[in-house]
Structure 1
């Protein structure tokens, strides 16, 4: 009498059923079924913010036909970049379940450092930016150390930093309170005047669509190798072609005016780079794991301390970059740089875009989508000549809705997990 071994080959019928499930999951019906299951499980993704963005655009376009004009969209995309880059850093700290309230002050302080070194002391603008970025990284390191070594809540430490760096900004700018950047400088040109040639913008759209296809194809190979369901080749081709057509049409429309700014390309490149880091690297998986459950991440061998430090350092660095670009956009660093609603808009953009306040869930595209929502509201109200008070109220309501959706989705995922 023989005893079956544990490594015996599975029955042919079982293999056929597995292959059949894989084939069904690859089709359109399978993709829709998978989407419905994700929605029921509380994984709503970027769908709410995309719907909200479409509704906002439709409302403002109906009230003022200039809203969706090519000229206004060019301005809207340029105005989104600085806050969007700062929000990209906020995504990092939110993913680990922390917060940084000092990003606005750090951005204004960094802009002041660059302006003073570049204009008043005659430094090369690149060297001035490097010094400002180094200081910003040190600031993020300080916040991380206060959290990991001394147990100081990030809310408290970053709130103290908000006040301290605002004071340093005022001290650096001095009695004049403002430093104007030369209009013929590279920094101002990059933020205001430099646009991608039309032919190159179309080429970039093609490369983006190709990159999406290759990334999807690589994911398909990995999932099929693990005997998991995956998108079909046809689905990948359709998705890439849709992206190609959409980007080409959008760039053609922007090129009817001034075109696509290099600063916009830089912002989108940062989003894609951050998305790759979060979704395809060990660091990104560790970031999500720490935000999901710190103790479980520690027991699995993740260096939690280094993850916290990297998140805060990257957040401060991106706040510095955003502040420098904002100064270039205005051709000035002054007392209002980084103040006002910059801090709150950066945090709100990350949350509105879909990054959870509870940690462990979100993406780099949250900063992009959330910033577009806030910039669209500001642009639409400006065209309607309405007071800025309306913008604060509407943005607050949108933020409240986003947090409510996140809370409901979190409860849905918890109940689905228990089931």
Structure 2
């Protein structure tokens, strides 16, 4: 009886915890968001302190270039100019993508300009002057670049002479061979309705083509990111959260579909841009997802260490120069397609410098071991955006060279500082 009375008294005095009102919960949610932002900022600062700057600097430079020229001339970001820009980056961009493979070894290929001109000259002379079917002349032109690159790669791998010396000799040799192939024909004009000419003047006018490419590209990126995340998680390795993967994919989707919208407002999706993106994506998969690609990165980290790990150093070095020669040949054909002619001035030194600058500006390290094929795309966008902006604002070409040189110097400095920071943290 007494126990029952005590229990009743306890019930009367006990108060139930009040359910917090929605307004009371909001500050907690706000603090959670603030903590998430603080964590992201802290992680970003840690990456910067260890030299892992990624592609952020070049993205900021590209944004600054676009904002500057758009403020000077409102036609810079017009659909017409952006469409022309997307085609103009392809020829030199393909050459730069091939150079990424060489730079990953910590080496340099100085012959790509001459090889690109040689391939275009072989194609033009066979097709226009000798009546060889266009598709066959095209294959022979590309094979000429592959053979030239393979010869240089074999020489580099077997003699152990630095690649820039071997390819400097190649620059002179292939340029002389190009002049010999052209002979007395100082300039060969291509058929404006031919297969090669269509590489840069054909557009998919159906809106679905550009939007379809954007959707497929974004979907593949998300799928590969998701599979990579699951593989890393299963191996108990550091991995991105699913939310972060979704946010990154969403940002890419905005860029892709905005680009598709702008292209459709002019002439549609350029065939040249489609081929360029497919080639870059395939080579990116080869570099980052295959045994051969891992060997390339390993050689960039140290040839002697790779040799002690029983890697076939000579074979990889030969293959890398062969890839560079092949991509130089393909790029040369796109450049010839753009102007529908091949001349003794093709493959000039400016082409070589722009290709090297595109790869380095995009984030490929001159010290080897760091970079992707997409870095060449970003670098080429910066260089061609500067050239396009200078042309549309009637700025002298001399200023263009100075600005491009300044951007290249800044990229090299950032690369050097990043490497020093990584070495200090034991990451290089």
Same-fold call, TM > 0.5? yes
Residue from 353, 368, 371 that aligns with 2:377: 368
Corresponding residue to 2:180 among 163, 171, 176? 171
Quick check: 1:49 aligned with 2:27?
A: no
Q: Does 1:38 align with 2:50?
A: no
**Separation of aligned partners in 2, 1:340 and 1:157:** 17
- Alignment-derived partner of residue 402 in structure 1: 411
**Do 2:157 and 2:314's aligned partners in 1 also have CA atoms closer than 8 Å?**
yes
CA drift at 1:253: 1.2
Displacement after TM superposition at 1:418 (Å): 8.2
In 1, are the aligned partners of 2:118 and 2:178 still within 8 Å (CA)? yes
SS at match of 1:370: helix
Cα distance, 1:176 vs structure 2: 2.6
The 8 Å contact of residues 205 and 267 in structure 2, kept in 1 or not, is answered as: no
Deviation for aligned residue 1:245:
2.5
Q: Give aligned pairs, total.
A: 393
Which of 277, 290, 300 aligns to 2:309? It is 300
1:345 maps to 2:348: no
Question: 1:28: how far off?
Answer: 6.9
Give the corresponding residue for 1:125.
Answer: 134
SS at the partner of 2:342? strand
> 2: distance between equivalents of 1:415 and 1:405?
15
Q: Tell me if 1:248 matches 2:257.
A: yes
TM-score (norm 1): 0.91
User: Equivalent residue for 1:84?
Assistant: 93
TM-score by length of 2: 0.89
Equivalent pair of 2:210/2:263 in contact (CA under 8 Å): no
Partner residue of 2:114? 105
Cα deviations by residue, 1:80-116 (Å, 9 ceiling, x for unpaired): 0000000001100000111110100100111000011
2-side partners of 1:149 and 1:405: how far apart? 34
Decide whether the 8 Å contact of 2:200 with 2:272 is kept in 1: yes
Question: Residue 146 of structure 1 is aligned with which of 121, 140, 155?
Answer: 155
The 1:30–1:305 alpha-carbon spacing in structure 2 relative to 1, beyond 3 Å, is farther
1:125: how far off? 1.4
Assess if the C-alpha contact under 8 Å between 2:209 and 2:269 holds in 1: no
Match of 2:196 in 1: 187
Q: Mind listing any 5+ residue stretches in structure 2 that lack a counterpart?
A: 1-35
Give the aligned partner of residue 412 of structure 1.
421
- State the 1:356 CA deviation: 0.6
Task: Work out the CA distance in 1 between the residues paired with 2:403 and 2:255.
Answer: 29
Pair 1:31–1:302, CA change in 2 (3 A): farther
Q: Which moved more, 1:273-282 or 1:84-93?
A: 273-282
Q: Does 1:271 align with 2:280?
A: yes
Q: Which has the larger radius of gyration?
A: 2
Matched, 1:390 2:424: no
Distance in structure 2 (CA, Å) of the matches to 1:163 and 1:195: 40
* Structure 1 partner of 2:14: none
1:210 aligns with 2:196: no
1:186-242 per-residue CA deviation (whole Å, 9 max, x = no partner) reads 210121233353112101111111111111111111111111232222322232233
**1:21 corresponds to:** none
Query: Using a 3 Å threshold, how does the CA distance of structure 1 residues 405 and 73 change in structure 2: closer, same or farther?
Result: same
- Alpha-carbon deviation of 1:321? 0.1
Whether the 8 Å CA contact 2:118–2:145 is kept in 1: the answer is no
Structure 1 contact 196–262 (Cα < 8 Å) conserved: no
- Give the 3-state SS of the residue equivalent to 1:380 in structure 2: helix
Distance 1:77 1:66, change over 3 A: same
CA RMSD of aligned residues (A): 1.6
